[in-house]
Amino acid sequence: MSHPERRLEELGLTLPEVVPPVATYVPAVRSGDHVHVSGQVPLREGRLIAAGRLGDTVSVELAYECARQCALNALAALKAEIGDLAAVARVVKALVFVASTADFTRLPQVGDGASDLLCELFGDAGRHARSAVGVSALPLSSPVELELLVEIRQSARG
């Protein structure tokens, strides 16, 4: 598997700047061999890709793209914490929140936007446990929010 950042380039993607927190928290926290990445919304160049809820104003396809952007934003926060994405031993868990109507059930397909990207970048180390949870609202009217738990190689510990 090639270096995750080279793989991003091959996919025509770049890591954004770390999204500044919108409240009292930090983008990522390292604890031992793990990094917890705070919930990331689909901001691109300071603007939400989409706003609204699934089953109402946002399509599954657009939400998939939003989840992919959430993953890029999470990776930016992760890199700022550990210095190099090659230090990732494995993605342990992804938690995907989807703002949706009560009858919307395609939550897993939305979460695949993030999961597919993580697998493309890290191969088997990107395969992770995941929960996709429907909620009535998310920060900034975002349709998707993503949290990550990542294990880092011991040699990368600071």
Residue type, 20: P
pTM of the model: 0.94
Q: Which helix (H) or strand (E) holds 82?
A: helix 60-82
Q: Decide: 36 and 95 in contact? Cβ < 8 Å.
A: no
The 10s digit of each residue's pLDDT in 10-29 is 999 999 999 888 899 999 99
The 10s digit of each residue's pLDDT in 88-107 is 999 999 999 999 999 999 99
> Tokens 């009217």 — which residue?
141
Q: Decide: 114 and 128 in contact? Cβ < 8 Å.
A: no
Q: Give the span between the Cα atoms of 49 and 143, in whole angstroms.
A: 9
pLDDT confidence tier of residue 39, bands split at 50, 70 and 90: very high
Paired tokens of 68: 């992919």
The 10s digit of each residue's pLDDT in 47-57 is 999 999 999 99
Rg for the chain (alpha carbons), in Å?
15
